[in-house]
Chain A
Amino acid sequence: SAVISQKPSRDICQRGTSLTIQCQVDSQVTMMFWYRQQPGQSLTLIATANQGSEATYESGFVIDKFPISRPNLTFSTLTVSNMSPEDSSIYLCSVWTSGDIDSTDTQYFGPGTRLTVL
């Protein structure tokens, strides 16, 4: 399994500002993933972050709004730019790694960052 930490755990921000969320993993991983979970909704993949290359964004998400950095194999940041109330969500990072069950690769998630935009 993987131990994933995120900072901040929660924040309340003003409209028009930006917030950078950090994700740290206790082991080296090739890909890191950023998800958004809007209130009462399921998880939606924002982008996949590979070390040494540009992040790959899913439909509906753009780099100008959600710039991502991946400076090394254990760390990534997601910035939510020019925030509006519609950006209020839980943001989660995740990685694939060998699970404890039959060594099957499993996607583990960080504890999430709960963002409220006023």
Chain B
Amino acid sequence: AQKITQTQPGMFVQEKEAVTLDCTYDTSDQSYGLFWYKQPSSGEMIFLIYQGSYDEQNATEGRYSLNFQKARKSANLVISASQLGDSAMYFCAMLGAPSGYSTLTFGKGTMLLVSP
């Protein structure tokens, strides 16, 4: 079975600083994908970034980058130059092949608060 672990229930960062949100995963699949979503207080789930298990380079998307360490089974999200609007819940999720291509397994989430 797949498992996603987010060990930080909450994180604080000052505006304009960088922050790293941790995510470790456990899977026996050789092929899998890792996703990060942002959930503001409004409740919508916003897709941020994706990393495939065979991607050799770390994924980047604007201020978001994914620090993918396959041997350690970690896929940490790095947000550079934090903004007040980044305050939200962040979920790491994994997609695996044999256990169900079409569904994601989510971590418990990390609440990020950005202060002025």
Contact = CB atoms under 8 A, between A and B. Distances in A.
Chain B, interface size category, equals 20 to 34
Contacts of A43: 45, 91, 104, 106
A111 B44 contact: yes
Chain A contact residues: helix, strand, loop or mixed: strand
A9 B50 CA distance: 27
Contacts of A37: 43
Interface residues of A, number: 23
A107 B42 contact: no
Interface string A34-48: 000100011101001
Contact of B102 (A33, A92, A99, A111): A33
Interface in B43-83: 43-47, 49-50, 52, 59, 61
Contacts, number: 54
B50 A33 contact: no
Contacts of A45: 103-104
B96 interface: no
Contact of B103 (A48, A92, A108, A109): A48
Interface of B: 33, 35, 37, 42-47, 49-50, 52, 59, 61, 91, 95, 102-104, 106-109
17 contacts: A31-B102, A33-B102, A33-B103, A42-B106, A42-B107, A43-B45, A45-B103, A48-B103, A90-B43, A92-B45, A101-B50, A101-B61, A109-B46, A109-B47, A111-B42, A111-B43, A112-B45
